Structure 1
Amino acid sequence: MAGTPAWKLLLPRQLRRLPADLAAVVGVVALTNLAVLLPVVSDTPVRIVAGLVFVLFVPGYAFIAALFPEDGSDPDDDEAVTNPQAEGIDGIDGIERVALSFGLSIALVPLVGLVLNFTPWGIRLLPILVSLSGLTLVLTGVAAVRRWALPADERFRVPYRAWLSAGREELFSPASRTDAALNVLLVVSILLAAGSVAYAVTVPKEGERFSEFYLLTEGEDGDLVADGYPTEFQRGESRSLIVGIGNQEHERTEYTVVTELQRVERVGNETRVQERSELRRFQPTLEHNETWHRQHEVTPGMTGERLRLQYLLYRGSPPETVNQSTAYREVHLWVNVTE
């Protein structure tokens, strides 16, 4: 076919006939799926940029394109005189189309998530990606069929060639020096704004540094829960606890967990340790955003009421004096140990 690029001939006939805006919708869907699913690309800012455009605009645009396949431009006065029916065109103009696309996308995406919540797949990345992509492609197909059914002069089309021509003329052939200076200022502002957004995406602000430290137990169904802690022991009897650490330090961190059973007394507002017995030490090393769980069989060697089973967390090696004041994090249980 004369005038058709060679690469377009490789595409199916339906894709070659797609209007430019609907072809762009299909391209964004494909790019988003690649950015999310490809191992190398999924860790780059391309995934964030493509995902934002896809979620916030594309499904709504496809829906609006299916609803309004006709051109919504205002008819010329001469046409309105000779053809009174032209005044009743049902289409919408470009600004309305863009505004409704954002609004409908914001409405459609939560609706898809709500439907997925009642399915076996649930609200997870892959089901959401597949559902939104499928919905968008179906709407794009409906929009293309409805446009093809209209006469060529009534179909909606994005006048991107006219925009490019007008922009090229405005930038490179300004009417005055003032227009030229304003054009340069506009281009610099756009570049600065794009650079700021790119920097914010590629170099996100580092959040607060902290480590999670907690105790869990294993429920009857095998799940780990923060409930049902053992408080009654017999000396020499083992009871199980799960020690947990979550690294949110934004760097690889070495930890030391020291477990002690202590006999304490209250003196005013102060808790004094009368006797202590170290039970176990753990020394895990975690990457950022990594979670560590370890089962600890607690076997007390001393007896008494209101003994404190204390877990102390240190970053790195603990100091010579191991107590609550020198620890980075601390959790404890009050237990009774009998003979």
Structure 2
Amino acid sequence: MTSDTDWLSLVPRSVRTAPADLLAVVVVAVLTCGAVTLPGVRDTPLRVVLGLPFVLFVPGYAVIAALFPESGPAVAASGDADAAGRTGIDGLERVALSFGTSVALVSALGLLLNFTPWGLRLVPIVVAIGLLTVAAAVVGSRRRAALPEGERFGVPVRSSLPNDPNPFSSGSRTDAAFAVVLVLCLALAVGVGGYMVAAPGSGESFSEIYVLTGNQSGDLAAEDYPTELTAGEPTSLTVAVGNHEGTATDYVVVSQLQRVRVANNTTTVLEREALTRYRPSVEANATWRTEHAVTPTMTGDRLRLTYLLYEGSAPAEPTAANAYQSVHLWVNVTAPDSASS
């Protein structure tokens, strides 16, 4: 048994003596960060299984542990005469506050991230919650350690790894098994943390298409679009495609002028005029722009000038329903004679 005892002694004392509930909180935080960043794992149900408690319970529990390291007055029933005067909270109050605090913390972190360069995206949110959880768990562990053992909050299981010289004796097999699991989780945590530092996740991938026009100062802006067009006469617009797919992508942009009927929240295309097509190749995280001289021949009021975006190739009959992305403007097109009169 000497070799087993020596192997267990390699675990830092701060880990062996840390509360089991806070160690579990740290492990859940690290595993969740891995579940949303590691390829092959982030698309599995494990992401949801770990994500729900990670968002709804874990950060609040860690913060409550840091704020209230003392055991609650409920222990008075066990004969502790000093318990009634303690300021701690009991287990039921701790669980209830953990849920409420988690919701408040996650909402506040999301609001703060929305004003940072990282934005309100999955990986920054998960990393921020994880860092807050680990920091609160460390503070909570230190505050508990500063209290007399009889006043510390503890879970119904033993809250630390065994200090028994022979941890694999018949009376401590459960603690020994917990020690093995903990060491494995810590090794996994180090691996996940190293991966997240060396190859952080790229977040959600997407493409976008939008239309710009020159404003009064001569800059391109998504406002003050022309609404009155004349058949046969060009009107200049700028079409832009943004590639956030993480890799170079070939696109097809289809421009149409459509006569539509809107009834009962349903839009039906009655007639369509093909205007032009573009086939840009856009590098990752780049934006392609081109000037489109819109020269319609169809006339009418409330016509829909539509731009359809496809990856790779476009179908034989491009529509808004089968497009990857689309954007449209409402315009009135008049005949040249009507415009001059």
- Which category of TM-score, normalised to the shorter sequence, fits these structures? 0.5 to 0.7
Q: CA 1:295–1:55 in 2, change beyond 3 Å: closer, same or farther?
A: same
Residue 74 of structure 1 aligns to a residue in which SS? helix
1:237-248 matches, cutoff 5 A: 237=234, 239-240=236-237, 242=239
Paired residue for 2:333? 335
| Partner residue of 1:216 out of 199, 211, 220 | 211
* Counterpart-to-counterpart distance in 2, 1:29 and 1:303: 59
Paired residue for 1:112? 109
* Counterpart-to-counterpart distance in 1, 2:142 and 2:37: 30
* Counterpart-to-counterpart distance in 2, 1:26 and 1:261: 56
**Native 8 Å contact 1:256 1:282 kept in 2:** yes
Offset of 1:16 from its aligned partner?
2.2
- Calculate the aligned-residue CA RMSD, in Å: 4.8
* Counterpart-to-counterpart distance in 2, 1:226 and 1:125: 30
1:136-155 Cα distance to aligned partner (Å, 9 max, x none): 11211111111111222322
* Counterpart-to-counterpart distance in 2, 1:151 and 1:277: 81
* Counterpart-to-counterpart distance in 1, 2:298 and 2:152: 87
Q: CA 1:230–1:295 in 2, change beyond 3 Å: closer, same or farther?
A: farther
Paired residue for 2:12? 12
Offset of 1:18 from its aligned partner?
1.2
* Counterpart-to-counterpart distance in 2, 1:127 and 1:230: 41
Paired residue for 1:42? 42
* Counterpart-to-counterpart distance in 2, 1:114 and 1:299: 41
| Partner residue of 2:141 out of 136, 139, 144 | 144
* Counterpart-to-counterpart distance in 1, 2:153 and 2:299: 84
Q: TM-score, normalised by structure 2?
A: 0.56
Offset of 1:44 from its aligned partner?
1.3
**Native 8 Å contact 2:229 2:235 kept in 1:** no
Name the aligned partner's letter for residue 229 of structure 1: P
Q: CA 1:75–1:34 in 2, change beyond 3 Å: closer, same or farther?
A: same
Paired residue for 1:55? 55
Q: CA 1:300–1:18 in 2, change beyond 3 Å: closer, same or farther?
A: same
Paired residue for 1:91? 88
Q: CA 1:242–1:145 in 2, change beyond 3 Å: closer, same or farther?
A: same
Offset of 1:230 from its aligned partner?
5.7
Q: How many residues align?
A: 252
Offset of 1:260 from its aligned partner?
5.5
Residue 89 of structure 2 aligns to a residue in which SS? coil
Offset of 1:256 from its aligned partner?
10
Name the aligned partner's letter for residue 154 of structure 2: R
* Larger RCO, structure (CA 8 Å, separation 6 or more): 2
Name the aligned partner's letter for residue 148 of structure 1: A
Offset of 1:332 from its aligned partner?
5.6
Please state which structure has a larger fraction of its residues in helix. 1
Consecutive unaligned residues in structure 1, runs of 5 or more = 162-213, 245-254, 263-271, 285-292
Q: Percent identity?
A: 41
| Partner residue of 1:160 out of 157, 160, 170 | 157
Q: Does 1:75 align with 2:76?
A: yes
Q: CA 1:112–1:7 in 2, change beyond 3 Å: closer, same or farther?
A: farther
**Native 8 Å contact 2:231 2:333 kept in 1:** no
Paired residue for 2:99? 102
* Counterpart-to-counterpart distance in 2, 1:317 and 1:97: 61
1:282-312 Cα distance to aligned partner (Å, 9 max, x none): 899xxxxxxxx99673453769897967659
Q: CA 1:331–1:218 in 2, change beyond 3 Å: closer, same or farther?
A: closer
Offset of 1:17 from its aligned partner?
1.8
* Counterpart-to-counterpart distance in 2, 1:39 and 1:223: 39
**Native 8 Å contact 2:59 2:129 kept in 1:** yes
Name the aligned partner's letter for residue 211 of structure 2: L
* Counterpart-to-counterpart distance in 2, 1:109 and 1:91: 24
1:82-124 Cα distance to aligned partner (Å, 9 max, x none): x4x3321322221111111111111111122233344444433
**Native 8 Å contact 1:112 1:131 kept in 2:** yes
**Native 8 Å contact 1:215 1:226 kept in 2:** no
Paired residue for 2:126? 129
Paired residue for 1:24? 24
Q: CA 1:134–1:280 in 2, change beyond 3 Å: closer, same or farther?
A: closer
Residue 76 of structure 2 aligns to a residue in which SS? coil
**Native 8 Å contact 1:35 1:47 kept in 2:** yes
Q: CA 1:318–1:66 in 2, change beyond 3 Å: closer, same or farther?
A: closer
